Amino acid sequence: MTTSIGTGQRRRPVWQLGFVIPCLLAVVGLADIGLRFMSIDPFTFRAWEALLRNRPPGAAFEPNRDYDNARSYGDLAALGNFPALRQYRVERFTTDALGFRNPPRILNEEISAILAGDSFVVGSGVNDDETLSSRLTTSMGCVVYNAGSDAGRVVPDEILSVARRLNLRSRLVIRLYTDGAAVPVPPTRREIAAVRLIGRLPADVRAVAGKVRGFLTVSPLQSLSGRAWKAIDNGRILPNKYADNVVRATLVNGDTMLFQATRVDNFHRRRDLSLGYWRWLREDLSKAGFDLFVVLVPGKYEVYRPFLVDPQPLSPGAGDYLNRLERALRAMDVPVLNLTPFLSGEAARSLQRGKYLYWLDDNHWNAQGTALAAAAIRAQWPLTATACNTTRSPAVQTP
């Protein structure tokens, strides 16, 4: 009798674990599947994550979407898990039928220029009417199409694929390149073939492919659990293992500004120029009848480093990548505008008033920085006045 009871006592914990663990896994699995049918918006802190989920191949974001968040905050505050340093702001983000950040009506208007590049073109952290393309459209009287995406590399086939679906008035491509981004290189033949194949797919097929990919790869439950873990792994309850992703620095006025650690390290090393991409981009666009205008954007650290308390000293040859790239592009007869002197000069003046051109908790421009960049581009606008007036003229169609 004693032996029988002892055996039952030994087996009961094994039986309990063998039953509880599979049940727990089943519940988590069902919850994960169920949440994938829901909108991911409540689990995101900005539009970028929400609108990437169901984007079709070849698009920057999910088409025909409106995203509103009254408490959006910066990517660096999230990356370093610094909730106390968040700058909360309202974010309104709208995409057109092609999946780019534009008002839907823009597809019925004549386009004078296509603005291509990374998140600085998209306008991360600002509202729809504060993006660079919106500022240029308003100030110039000609429509500038926002073709920005999360891709660091811009290839002519992608631009031409978009251009074929636009009502073009002028053939100008403005290519923004942000210092700190990966140095672009020409794509391989396989990558070019993939871009062309995607461009030939019907819109309905691409839309379904985007939704299937989003359902399979994006887990709201994973996002929710990650946020819950960050609430514990915050430097008070548990050590903040995310803190090393971000550099916390103090400005001369005493304010704290965040910088992405990898971009700071990148600025402090000498990078070799690679011009193959720029030659290829200009030549391919030229063959299609497009003009190229390059705009170079300094990173946040480059602009605000002179105003930091005890900034890290520069080693010989570091910190001048954009200046060297600007000179090389001019030598190639590529029209180029380096925004560094414009932003650096205004950053010094604004700092005295306690204002900034970049968000304190984000890599990107705020509305003031975007407006300044638009004014600088407008001053060197490569189109003639006739090309930018509001008088309608026959649209130029892309072959």
- At 241, phi and psi to the nearest 5? -75, -10
In this prediction, residues 361-383 reach a mean pLDDT of: 91
Per DSSP, the residues of 215-279 read HHH--HHHHHHHHHHHHHSSSSSS--TTGGGEEEEEBTTS-EEEEEHHHHHHHTS------HHHH
The single-letter code of the amino acid at 288 is: A
pLDDT score for 75: 94
Judge whether residue 3 has pLDDT over 60: no
Q: Could you give the percent of the chain with pLDDT greater than 70?
A: 91
Residue 8 pLDDT > 60, yes or no?
A: no
Cα Rg, the chain, nearest whole Å: 25
23 CA to centre of own chain: 40
Q: Is the pLDDT of residue 6 over 60?
A: no
Residue 287 has pLDDT above 50, yes or no: yes
How far is residue 134's CA from residue 112's CA, in Å, rounded to a whole number? 13
- As given in the structure block, the two tokens for residue 323 are 């200046």
Q: What is the pLDDT of residue 338?
A: 97
When mean pLDDT is compared across 234-238, 246-250, 326-330, the lowest value belongs to 234-238
pLDDT of the residue at 386: 52
62-71, 190-199, 253-262, 315-324: lowest mean pLDDT where?
Answer: 190-199
Residues 102-118: pLDDT tens digits?
999 999 999 999 999 99
pTM of the model: 0.87
Instruction: Judge whether residue 92 has pLDDT over 90.
Output: yes
For residues 242 and 151, what is the distance between their CA atoms, to the nearest angstrom? 24
Q: Is the pLDDT of residue 329 over 70?
A: yes
Contacts of 351 (CB under 8 A, 6+ apart): 251, 252, 253, 307
List helix spans (H) across the chain: 2-35, 47-52, 75-79, 119-122, 132-140, 156-163, 189-200, 203-217, 220-232, 261-267, 276-287, 300-304, 321-331, 340-352, 367-379
pLDDT band of residue 72 (cuts 50, 70, 90) is very high
pLDDT at position 61: 94
Q: Which residue has the higher pLDDT, 265 or 189?
A: 265
Q: Are 51 and 65 in contact (CB under 8 A)?
A: yes
Residue 3 DSSP SS3: helix
pLDDT digits (tens, 9 = 90+) for 205-238: 888 998 998 888 888 888 888 888 888 877 778 8
The confidence score (pLDDT) of residue 12 equals 53
Q: Please determine, for residue 126, whether its predicted confidence score (pLDDT) is greater than 90.
A: yes
What band does 390 get if pLDDT is binned at 50, 70 and 90? very low
Long-range contacts, 322-331 (Cβ 8 Å, 24+): 322/179, 322/296, 322/298, 324/273, 325/177, 325/273, 325/296, 326/296, 328/273, 328/275, 329/275, 329/278, 329/294
Which of the pair, 364 or 184, is modelled with greater confidence?
Answer: 364
Maximum Cα interatomic distance, the chain, rounded to a whole number of Å: 102
The mean pLDDT value of the chain amounts to: 87
Digit-coded pLDDT (tens) for 32-61: 788 788 888 888 899 998 999 999 988 899
How much of the chain, in percent, has pLDDT values that exceed 90? 54
Residue 56 tokens read as: 């079709």
SS3 303: helix
Looking at the predicted structure, is the pLDDT value of residue 389 above 80? Answer: no
| pLDDT, average across residues 344-354 | 92
pLDDT tens digits along 155-209: 788 888 889 899 998 889 999 999 988 778 888 888 888 878 887 888 888 889 9
